[in-house]
Amino acid sequence: MSPKMRPRESRAAPKRRVDYRAPAFLIDDVALEFDLDPDATVVTSTLTFRRNPAAQGKDRGVPLALDGEQQENVRLALDGRVLGATDYEPTASGLTIRRPPERGTLRIVSTTAPSRNAALEGLYMSSGMFCTQCEPEGFRRITHFPDRPDVLARYRVTIRADRKRYPTLLSNGNLVGSGDVDKDRHYATWHDPYPKPTYLFALVAGDLAALEDSFVTASGRRFSVAFRRSRSMAAALGPRGICAASAPAHSGGGLRRIGRPRSSHQAA
């Protein structure tokens, strides 16, 4: 059985702006696959990486360093070749690929236990649901990654889980696929086309009720909007609990209240 994942015993060392150094590597795209299980979730991460042309001095030739904590059964493959013990160096806070190419694809498979995550960082269970907390440095407890806010990547996330226990599977971006895995499990795939830092990554899987409506921006574009809560909370919430929602930044902006008539005193 995996040991209980606890909060860090000490605070992270302060980072000063005067000490800033550009990352040695950039990650352009991330494909994440989650096979959810409370006691043994398997996470498969495929990273498309390249050296950062803005890296300075000795950072232009350093190995590929990834942050990672509280993961077991870590397996690596670089450009399709399985890595052995001489190809990388594991540490308490991550791992280092010793001789990486200038650009390539790294596949990482690991196992984590959300039900034993008492730190509430990374992927954990709450009220029978899978949840994530990645700000400021929780993503490294989900998978290995250069977990810093200036490494921005596009994410494609596939979530697989028991259909009855976790009928709702959510992540960032747009739902681009869903269906059955087998008679007991189903999946959903989400794609976020806009590069983002790790601390904005989110995943939720559970039995959620949805309050759905549509949103019309000031420019006339229509978007679907869904507010999701646990079923027990949704029964008490009702349509009056739906708050104002903001359109995406690229859609023309504007705020409009959803789910109840607008009075003459409410701003458009």
Q: Per residue in 64-100, pLDDT tens?
A: 999 999 999 999 999 999 999 999 999 879 999 999 9
Residue 174 included in any domain:
yes
Q: Does a structural domain hold residue 1?
A: no
Residues 227 and 139 grouped into a single domain: no
- Whether 16 is in a domain gets the answer no
Query: Does 12 fall in a domain?
Result: no
CA distance 9 to 183: 43
Q: How far is CA 248 from the centre of its chain?
A: 19
- Are β-strands 94-97 and 103-112 bridged in parallel, bridged antiparallel, or unpaired? unpaired
Same domain, 74 and 178: yes
Residue 119 and residue 13: Cα distance in Å, rounded?
Answer: 18
Domain count within the chain: 2
Condensed to tens digits (0 to 9), the pLDDT of residues 111-152 reads 999 999 999 999 999 999 999 999 999 999 999 999 999 999
Query: What pLDDT does 2 receive?
Result: 60
In a domain, residue 6? The reply is no
Q: What confidence score (pLDDT) does residue 256 get?
A: 38
Asked if residue 173 and residue 95 are part of one domain, the reply reads yes
Q: Is the pLDDT of residue 264 over 60?
A: no
Whether 184 and 218 share a structural domain: no
Amino acid letter at 231?
A: R
Are 229 and 146 within one domain? no
Q: Give a yes or no: residue 231 inside a domain.
A: yes
- On the CB side of 56, how many CA atoms lie within 13 Å of its CA? 4
Same domain, 162 and 245: no
Q: For residue 236, what pLDDT is reported?
A: 64
The DSSP code for 26 is: E
pLDDT given for residue 184 in this prediction = 98
Residues 200 and 217 in one domain: no
pLDDT over 70 (residue 154): yes
Query: What mean pLDDT comes out for the span 167-178?
Result: 96
Q: Of 178, 205, 232, which residue sits at a domain end? A: 205
What local confidence, expressed as pLDDT, does residue 3 receive? Answer: 66
Q: Which residues contact 27 (CB under 8 A, 6 or more apart)?
A: 47, 48, 49, 145, 146, 151, 153
What CATH number is associated with residue 159?
2.60.40.1730
pLDDT of residue 212: 83
pLDDT value for 235 = 64
Examine the pLDDT at 6 and tell me if it is beyond 90: no
Q: Is residue 5 part of a domain?
A: no
* 104 and 169 both lie in a single domain: yes
Q: Is 115 found in the same domain as 196?
A: yes
The answer to whether residue 199 sits within a structural domain is: yes
Same domain as 230, residue 151: no
Question: Would you say 110 and 66 are in contact if contact means Cβ atoms under 8 Å apart?
Answer: no
**Domain boundary pick from 205, 220, 246:** 205
77 with 189, same domain: the answer is yes
Same domain, 62 and 167: yes
Residue 263: predicted pLDDT: 40
Domain that holds residue 113: 23-205
For 175-208, the pLDDT digits (tens) are 999 999 999 999 999 999 999 999 999 999 999 9
| 203-257 residue pLDDT tens | 999 999 888 888 899 999 998 888 888 876 666 655 555 443 333 444 343 333 3
Q: Which two tokens stand for residue 6?
A: 């606890």
At 231 the pLDDT is: 77
